[in-house]
Every structure is written in C-alpha cells, then in structure tokens.
C-alpha cells in the first residue's frame, strides 16, 4: 500500500474502490470476485486487421471497472497488486503451455503520466511480473515501445477513427530490437476496446523484427465477441 492510501485509510477512513463499503482500498468480496474471473479470448467486434490473439480476464464492467479507474485516474496505488493478479491470469492463459515471455506494456504519453502522477499500466505489469515469478514463470517487463506521436483523445471515436488516430503513434526502442529477436513477447494493456491500440503497438514491434505472440489485458469492453475461455 502506498503512503497516500495508508494515510487515507488511517486518518480519513478508506472505502472499497469496487463497491464503496468502508474499509481497505478493495474489500474481500470484490477481491474474491476479481480472483474468480475466468480468462477468455476477447476478439473485438469488428476485429481489426493485424490484432494478435487478445486474452482478457474479465469484462470491463462492475467492480473491476471501478477498481481500474480508481487505480488509473485517482492513483490508488494499493490497487496495483490485485489488478496485477488479474492481469497475471490473462498472461497465463495467453501463454498457454509456455512458461517464459517478455511482457511489453503499451506506452503512455508523458503528458498522461504527468497528469496522473504515475504510469498505471507499467505499475500493473510490474505487479503481474512479481505474481507470475512467484508462480514459477520466467517473465520480465520489456519497455520496448515509446510514443513518437501524441494521438488525440480516443473517447467517442469509432473503431475506424481510433485506428487512424493511432497510426504511427508508437515505435520500438532501438536498444530492445536485438534483445527481443526470437523471444516470446506478449503485449499488455489494461482495457481492450476496439483493439486499435494493440494493433498499432504490434505493428511498431513487427517493423523492428519483433514478433508478438498475443495480447493480455485486464478487461475487455462488452463490445466484443468472446470465443473460448
């Protein structure tokens, strides 16, 4: 738990980000709900060309949606660990029988990081890596992508508009190109909506000869066609 969260819980009295009941940042009931989620293949509808197989742990709704937003927008750092565990479930499912991989997060713009006061996705991936390594997986975080063109706000854009907005937004870091050659790489993000962000991230890696096994996300929006589990 971060110092800010500890102060809120101790002095002001905390509430669960998922259901609002007084207590810790996430209550036992909401944490159990997150832990019980079963990963699924989360193809968006329509499926954008070039999207590696996406695996999500749960739909982007209910308590999970509130917890993601509280961590991301309100900097409730104590939520990183439970959300990292949820992401780890998607990674396990996405890897199948593999036990090793590099996890490459979709990068945030510097402006977004400054505004939020932290990099929420990178924090989640770090938590997921710790969880998976405790479980015997050889996984590591790869900061292989960077933002080279700041896209406009994605809110309210159609799938086609999102794809156009993100075109050319990311690039692979040169120092990672050789390191990740012939290595298993999973792209990771917090929420899958249309898939446009992950397509562009995969394209940026492929241009440097880095193949992507698939994508792992915490949650997928309801506008998708689920196949498998």
List, in sequence order, the alpha helices (H) in the chain: 3-7, 28-35, 62-74, 80-95, 110-116, 120-134, 159-166, 174-177, 196-206
* Cβ burial, residue 181 (10 Å; 0-12/13-18/19+): exposed
* pLDDT for position 153: 61
Chain length of the chain = 229
Task: Tell me the C-alpha distance between 131 and 200, whole Å.
Answer: 28
pLDDT tens over the chain, length 229 residues: 445 545 545 444 589 999 999 989 999 999 999 999 999 999 999 999 999 999 999 999 999 999 999 999 998 999 999 999 999 999 999 999 999 999 999 998 888 888 888 899 999 999 999 999 999 999 999 999 998 866 656 556 566 666 665 666 789 999 998 899 889 999 999 999 999 999 999 999 998 999 999 999 999 998 644 443 3
Task: Tell me the C-alpha distance between 11 and 22, whole Å.
Answer: 13
> Pick from 60, 70, 72, 76: which is nearest to 7 by CA?
76
Helix (H, G, I), strand (E, B) or coil at 229: coil
Q: CA neighbours within 13 Å on the CB side: how many for 9? A: 17
Task: Tell me the C-alpha distance between 90 and 5, whole Å.
Answer: 27
* pLDDT for position 176: 93
Q: Are the C-beta atoms of 55 and 93 separated by less than 8 Å?
A: yes
Element (H, E) at 172: strand 170-172
Q: CA neighbours within 13 Å on the CB side: how many for 84? A: 22
Assess whether the previous peptide bond of 169 is cis (omega < 30° from 0). Answer: no
List the Cα angle 94/57/139 in 5-degree steps.
Answer: 45
Distant-in-sequence, close-in-space partners of 81: CB < 8 Å, separation ≥ 6? 127
Given the DSSP bridges, would you call strands 54-59 and 214-220 parallel, antiparallel or unpaired?
A: parallel
Helix (H, G, I), strand (E, B) or coil at 218: strand
* pLDDT for position 114: 86
* pLDDT for position 186: 98
């Amino acid at each position: 738990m971060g110092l800010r969260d500890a102060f809120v819980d101790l002095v002001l009295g905390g509430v669960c980000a998922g259901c609002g009941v007084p207590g810790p940042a996430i209550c036992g009931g909401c944490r159990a709900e997150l832990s019980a989620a079963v990963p699924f293949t989360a193809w968006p509808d329509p499926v954008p060309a070039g999207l590696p197989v996406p695996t999500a742990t749960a739909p982007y709704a209910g308590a999970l949606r509130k917890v993601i937003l509280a961590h991301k927008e309100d900097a409730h750092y104590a939520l990183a660990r439970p959300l990292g565990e949820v992401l780890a479930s998607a990674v396990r499912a996405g890897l199948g029988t593999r036990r090793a991989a590099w996890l490459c997060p979709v990068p945030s713009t510097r402006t977004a990081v400054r505004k939020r006061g932290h990099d929420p996705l990178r924090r989640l991936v770090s938590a997921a890596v710790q969880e998976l390594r405790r479980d015997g997986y050889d996984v590591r975080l790869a900061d292989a992508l960077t933002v080279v063109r700041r896209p406009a706000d994605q809110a309210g854009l159609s799938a086609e508009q999102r794809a156009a907005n993100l075109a050319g937004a990311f690039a692979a870091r040169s120092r990672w190109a050789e390191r990740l050659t012939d290595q298993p790489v999973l792209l990771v993000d917090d929420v899958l909506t249309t898939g446009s962000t992950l397509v562009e991230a995969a394209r940026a890696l492929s241009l440097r000869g880095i193949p992507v096994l698939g994508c792992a996300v915490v949650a997928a929006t309801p506008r998708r066609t689920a196949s498998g589990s």
